[in-house]
Structure 1
Amino acid sequence: MDAGRFVEVADRVWHARFPQWDVGVGLVPGRDGAVLVDTRASGVQGGAVVAAVRAQFPGVRVRHVVNTHVHFDHTFGNIAFAGATIHAHDRVAATLDGEARRIRAAIAADCSDCPEYGYTVADLDEVAQTRLRPPDCTFGSSATIDLGDRVVTLLHTGRGHTDGDIAVQVPDADVVFLGDLVEQSAHPSLGPDCWPLEWPDTLGSQLNWVGPDTVVVPGHGRPVDEQFVCRQQGELATVAAVLRERRLAGMPLADAAREPDHRLPYPLADLADAVACVWAQLEPS
């Protein structure tokens, strides 16, 4: 990984990966400015993205920022983009304050280095101290950003990783940024605000715009292709099927969270939040 350097993944579509949480940032320049996809986890980290864009693309102005979903590692850097319009789903605006409370409480409970995810205590301090900048423009199902010589489309097809995940499509380059609906450097993160039963269908709807030559950029990791997304959708469908089966059978939550099943594609320990979400979202039979 060439950390912090933008790499062209398709015609005039660029992607950079950063070590903290291995989060990715996209850049789509056009005649009338550029769209930046996601802003990292703090004002300091967002400022580093601003510096990277200036260094690699002199004269390019980031006029639009898109948040693929609400989580701190994709939104807290918004504060560094003065003068840009922030775009996101309606639910990002509604839940950003709650996300800030959640992550700040988590930092207060355990503020320590985590080499596995590439962050340090100093990074966490920066996250906790960052002032939020909410979206300026929100939408429910779709929106477009006109860059003069190209159009970027924003599309929400349902709940999954959160209730406000969107795809950022660049049709002229056949590129789709899917945020954390797809991850490459680890399996998908099924956290306390996920929708496991709906995620496979949401991802399936996004696949309507993905073909064999489409470059799919995940929220974490390197760009992938249609086959990768289909495979991950199948894994998420298996998780949904097993958890639905357990919930409808009336299995107690504690038992469902610890009972192994050879069909599950991810470690059971990583599915504790998903189990709790399904138990809250689905009535037993």
Structure 2
Amino acid sequence: MASGFHEVADRVFVARYPQWDVNVGLVLGRDGAVVVDTRASCLQGFAVLDDIRRLGSDIEVRHVVNTHVHFDHTFGNTAFTAATVHAHANVARAVDADADRIKALFRADPGDGPEAGYTSRDVVEVLATEVRPPDRSFELSATIDLGDRAVTMSWAGRGHTDGDIGVHIPDADAMFLGDLIEESATPSFGGDSWPLDWPDTLTEHLGWLGPTSVVVPGHGKPVDAEFVRRQRDEIAMVDRVIRERQGAGWSLEAALSEPDERLPYDLERLDSAFRRGWEQLTSRPAEPA
């Protein structure tokens, strides 16, 4: 894993950090810079700033964008005191509660170790971080004007969370998709994911992408539109199997235990996906006759 920022499109940079294998983006313009996601603690956010200064001492970070609410993408916000923080309105509504949730989980079980990708020191830093919520939020879309280029933030629906956004730099044909896409692991179906909405959300974002587009996932190497399309289709198959089993009257326990060769990921990795899908389907109002 290379250190520091590397240019992946015209004045669009990515740094990949070992703790939680998370990506941070940097978009340069005539009137300042945008940082996309900020790592998992205040100290890690300051390390991002150090890497930006090594790239160019005159770079002025005026804006931060959080692709979604999770701590490994937002807790570093506090280091960017001179910047305006942008995120979806659902992030603004949930950030404090989600921070309390993750801190409680770490207090109960730090779970550090080489296989986890972080250490006990990283956990201490997470617990010590005072969370900074967004300064500006939006429902569907918003634009940051950097003078000679625009950075567009768009919400296309629920997926990994209910507040995932795409961050698009049209003149560079580049997009950050946060954890809507993962390259270094399978998609993360957590307890706040929306597996039945996720495929359509990715379909909407694909409308921005062409054959030469660069897409930066939340974790892993930059990918192209075809990768996004393949992962969308894989998640759509998870969606399909969930709907089939629930519609056929299976119990959730049976659905979680019966393999299906169509599933693109190991069944044990889909526990939360099935549980969340079941919740969506069983709480949905009946269709009118």
Tell me if both proteins adopt one fold, taking TM over 0.5 as the criterion: yes
Instruction: Name 1:85's counterpart in structure 2.
Output: 84
CA contact (8 A) 1:248 1:283 kept: no
For 1:68, the equivalent position in structure 2 comes to 67
2:62 partner SS: strand
CA distance in structure 1 between the aligned counterparts of 2:188 and 2:114, rounded to whole angstroms: 18
The yes-or-no answer on 1:239 pairing with 2:238 is yes
Q: Distance in 2 between matches of 1:9 and 1:143?
A: 23
Q: Indicate whether 1:145 and 2:144 are aligned.
A: yes
| 1:22 matches 2:14 | no
What value does the CA root-mean-square deviation take over the aligned residues? 1.2
Partner Cα separation in structure 2 for residue 254 and residue 129 of structure 1: 39
List, as ranges, runs of 4+ consecutive aligned residues in structure 1 with deviation greater than 6 Å: none
| Counterpart check, 1:41 vs 2:40 | yes
The amino acid of 1:104's aligned partner reads K
Secondary structure of 1:282's counterpart equals: helix
By how many angstroms is 1:154 displaced?
0.4
Matched, 1:116 2:115: yes
Q: Which residue number corresponds to residue 252 of structure 1? A: 251
The alpha carbon displacement at 1:139 in A equals 0.3
Contact 1:41 1:74 in 2 (8 A): yes
Residue 227 of structure 1, CA deviation: 1.0
Counterparts of residues 53-202 of structure 1 (less than 5 Å): 53-202=52-201
Amino acid at match of 1:233: R
CA distance in 2, matches of 1:253, 1:58: 55
- CA drift of 1:112 comes to 3.0
TM-fit CA distance, 1:258: 2.0
The DSSP-based 3-state class of the residue aligned with 1:251 is: coil
Contact 1:22 1:117 in 2 (8 A): no
Mapped to 2, the partners of 1:101 and 1:257 lie a distance apart of 29
1:279 to 2:273 alignment: no
The runs of 5 or more residues in structure 1 that have no matched partner are none
Could you give the per-residue CA deviations for residues 167-226 of structure 1, whole angstroms, max 9, x where no partner exists? 000001000101011010011101000000010000000000010000011000010011
Distance 1:125 1:105 in 2: 12
2 CA distance for matches of 1:58 and 1:116?
35
Report the more deviating stretch, 251-260 or 68-77.
251-260
User: Secondary structure of the equivalent of 2:57?
Assistant: coil
Tell me the distance in 2 between the aligned counterparts of 1:114 and 1:253.
33
Q: What residue identity is the alignment partner of 1:52?
A: D
Opposite residue 2 of structure 1, the aligned amino acid is A
SS at match of 1:182: strand
The CA distance in 1 between the partners of 2:114 and 2:159, in whole Å, is: 27
Q: Any stretches of 5+ residues in structure 2 without a counterpart?
A: none
What secondary structure, in the 3-state scheme, does the structure 2 residue paired with 1:63 have? strand
The one-letter amino acid of 1:138's match is S
Range with bigger deviation, 214-223 or 106-115: 106-115
